[in-house]
Amino acid sequence: MSQIQEQNKKQIPLGEDPENPVRIYADGVFDQFHFGHAKLLEQCKKMYKHVHLIVGVSGQEDTEKYKGPTLMTEFERQESVRHCKWVDEVVCPCPWTISLDFIEKHKVDFVAHDDAPYGSGDSEDIYAPIKKIGKFKATQRTDGISTSDLIMRILKDRDLYLMRNLQRGYSRKELGMSYSDELLLKVKSVLKNIEEKFVPCTRRKRKTVKQE
């Protein structure tokens, strides 16, 4: 065991004293905050009996540089995290790569993240230095839910949500639609309504004829 690891081991609290909780840090983008995010933070909070959970929310500039555009603004993302009951403290914008100086500044005992290597830039795993000094705690991802999944659901039923928002008073300009896009969407909606009313009626008539 290295000198740094031995020193860390001595300094880390056991989590039994509410006045001296284990300080755990978890970070992420947290776009479209969902129950998968909440379950991650719950895991962190319940790693010890008494935990002070610090959550880093990545800034807009870094997020767009390394992952692409977000649906929510930086402020919306950090406020969503701040209002999660498991969270004690929010750091926003947080560094994309956690440094030992950051850990020392925020008195972090452990960094929590899922165990898969997380590559970014020239690094194959930005959490590798944290793992090396024994300050890493692995969490489990929640299957079946992610921000990408939510975006895909919206894109899959794009016309449905565009029509709904038009009916709720949003203008085509607010929705990024041209006049022809709006017209085509309304025609599709009318045809769909006709189909939904006509097809069941036709089926009922066919059933009646067969019974006769």
pLDDT values of the chain reduced to their tens digit, one per residue, 212 residues: 444 454 455 578 999 999 999 999 999 999 999 999 999 999 999 999 999 999 999 999 999 999 999 999 999 999 999 999 999 999 999 999 999 999 999 999 999 999 888 777 777 889 999 999 999 999 999 999 999 999 999 999 999 899 999 999 999 999 999 999 889 988 888 888 787 777 555 555 555 545 55
118 Cβ contact list (under 8 Å, min separation 6): 125, 126, 127
For position 188, what pLDDT does the model report?
Answer: 84
* Rounded CA separation 130/132 (Å): 5
The DSSP call for residue 71 is S
Please give the domain boundaries of the chain with CATH numbers for all domains.
Answer: 3-151 (3.40.50.620), 157-212 (no CATH)
For position 205, what pLDDT does the model report?
Answer: 52
CB 89 within 8 A of CB 54: yes
